[in-house]
Amino acid sequence: MMATDIIPSFLSAMEAAGMRPAEPMADRLGSDLIRFSCEGDRAGKRNGWAVLHTDGRPAGAFGNYRLQVSETWRAEKSEPLSPIERKRRATEYRKQKAEREAAKLKAQQEAAERCRERWDRAGAVDHQHPYLVKKRISGWGLKQEGNRLLVPMFGADGTLWNIQTIWPDGAKRFAKDGRQNGLFCLVGPVDAVVMIGEGYATCAAAHRATGHAFAVAFSAGNLMVTAMAIAAGYPDCDLVIFADDDAHLVDHPTIKRNVGLEDARAAAQAVGGRVALPPREDM
């Protein structure tokens, strides 16, 4: 199978199993597990998951918790290619990859400009917003657009690339075509400790209890880059990484790991920080 056919074939297998991603997938698929929304999911839910290995004979797995789908996938074998054909296909694949990456960057830059305009127009937070009241947090560092809370997403250089929107019922969405990898939101004057977690509410609740600054990473996959950026900017700070406890994934037939905890531990190890884990009912 040609390299350019791998992802389309993988996505076709998903659709054949009854799950259709509700967000762009081609540039997110890789050897790390990702989670995403599928058509039919309730707002704010990410019931879909997938992992795809493209080395050697490509293989992967995907599933949907709501649909109770869990399947593996392997690329079909193909006839050996001649050196000339292999070189031609490799050249074509590199060209197409470069074109996709250029188009993706252009879309991200345009999305970032729209997000900056939204952020500039947004107003102050209503502290009686239903989400803030439910979570018992103040909305520090946020703005409000209508009945929606806005969480800014910055790169390490301080550039605003994206916005996470939080609806009154807690549903969360990122800007269409917006960049997500490598972004975080640092809130508060930094002192001796910076707390880092996946979600705004978790971090804000920890700030309410401790008074320390916090950085929202928005996903387990972003914990590492967020921790490293904070460590580089504030080398004397003690970093505490809040782990989402995905213990239910350990016994999953395909995932077989606690994604939130393992990514938090990896981030803490990379910067010499500590991990904080929420208490379990069985502990």
What the block records as the tokens of 101 is 């990456």
Strand ranges (E), 24-128: 34-36, 48-53, 59-64, 69-74
What the block records as the tokens of 107 is 């879309």
pLDDT for res 166: 96
pLDDT for res 217: 95
pLDDT for res 281: 59
Start-to-end Cα distance in the chain? 48
3-state secondary structure at position 167: coil
Other C-beta atoms lying within 10 Å of the C-beta of residue 226:
28
Strand ranges (E), 54-92: 59-64, 69-74
Q: How confident is the model at residue 19 (pLDDT cuts 50, 70, 90)?
A: confident
CA–CA separation, 203 and 141 (whole Å): 12
Q: How confident is the model at residue 280 (pLDDT cuts 50, 70, 90)?
A: low
Least confident piece of the model among 47-61, 102-116, 155-169: 47-61
